[in-house]
Structure 1
Amino acid sequence: MSTPWKLNTHSNLATRKPRGPTLLKDVWKLSPGKTIDVSFNSRNQSIEKEGRKLTSFLGIVARTLELTPLNIDDWRNFDNEQKKKLVNFVRKKFSFPKSGEAFVLKSLGKKWKDYKCEIKGEYMSKYKTKDSLLKNRPNRRPRDQWSGLVSYWLSDKAKRRTQANRNNRANQKMPHTRGSKSIATLMHEQSGYVRGLGLGPTPSVLWGSKSSVENIVVEDSSNEVVQRSLQPLPVVGLSKPSPYSPVIQLSHSFSKPLK
């Protein structure tokens, strides 16, 4: 049971009530034939508030077991016909270009995978044996899907993949952070230029005045680019310390120095 905000008088810290599931009632209640137009940037990424709504909707689809069953071990094992049905289902509520289909499927795949990881983290920490996992099947999970999912969790293939994911997280340079806007949307809304990310973001938007990334959500392919651009490089041509050297080291790919 979730707990409401509670003020700690000793530390002045608050415990926040967890956010509930996204419902998007306005999307589900759209009249037949009416859709939400979604804009995409030159990289075929959804942008603006309609793009954020599309992304949230894809999260709901990824959790709908009738559409995206849990007992398939890898997103790549969904056949093309299944993926085509998913795209057509999304098109009933959203209008987007043909070139945007790849984004829809990639986003669905990531959200489906994240959902499976979320369930695994919740149940594998409580129940350590196959029998106990099967006995404590969640009410909303079909028996056949749950049985297949549990069998996969306990397989050698899944254990190897889990270890590989742990290693990848340990080597991650920049963690994902909170916020509702993707890099694509921020790039679209802001002016400026950062080499490697194209037109859109300014240094202060990406890193803030204190090199903060608190307001940025790094998603999908953008994550690798941003992490690469954050890698410190040796400063060439500076014979003595410069007041700009920390900026140059962090954001060496800017086309113009900051003033």
Structure 2
Amino acid sequence: MAEELSFPTGLGTSDATTISLLGQDLAGDLMGQVGFGELAFWLVARRRPTRGETRVFEAVLVALADHGFTPTAIAARLTYLSAPEALQGALAAGLLGGGSRFLGVTEDCARFLSQALDDADKRDSYDEIALKAVRATRRVPGLGHPVHKVEDPRTPVLIRIAKEEGCYGPHLALFEAVGRVHPKKLPLNGAGVCGAALADLGLPVDLLRGFALLARAAGLLGHLAEERRHPIGMDVYLTVDRNAVYEP
């Protein structure tokens, strides 16, 4: 007798009359009762966040939603210019640009801080842990910003919210210490602070880039909506094309 196949999941399922998600009735228990940010947290952490955790988490999503004409936004707009019939392609093009320089910093910073905390002597202060971690690496992810040279305006707000909600933990404390002890005195990048905040919420470090992409998806959709109303993609393309220098 053939072995019966089984594909377990604790997320969602449905039958002819109901849809279940996270052990709840989607229509009766979640729709209109749970915000999207709260649900996104719940889906990954497999626990419902507290009100304070939800506030911090959604502040992170808002902080990462858009940052102007970044490469991710330009990629989305130019892809839309090339294939306006495929909105999903334009959105995906922007998300694919989330890497070590843009968006990926959120996860990279959290990973750096988490590793430093794991390696630390428990008797050391945060400043001592930070100094050892800084000396052991060539570049600290999340430190410095190409535009915000003195202070990233997102940074003090996120730290304040985390403290207000009792969610200020070792990752944020260590990242602030990194800013204090680093010899170049660079500002704490908002994306890096987002990573520290998410790590302090107990979310898996290996998935934090996904939350940055979740936030940026909203911003990219906004760029594509604006591209429909006030297109700039053709001007960007022609500016590059007409100023290209051919060097055979």
* Structure with the bigger percentage of helix: 2
Q: Which has the higher contact order (CA 8 A, sep 6+)?
A: 2
Please tell me the TM-score bracket, short chain as reference.
under 0.3
Task: Please report the TM-score for the alignment, with normalisation by the length of structure 1.
Answer: 0.27
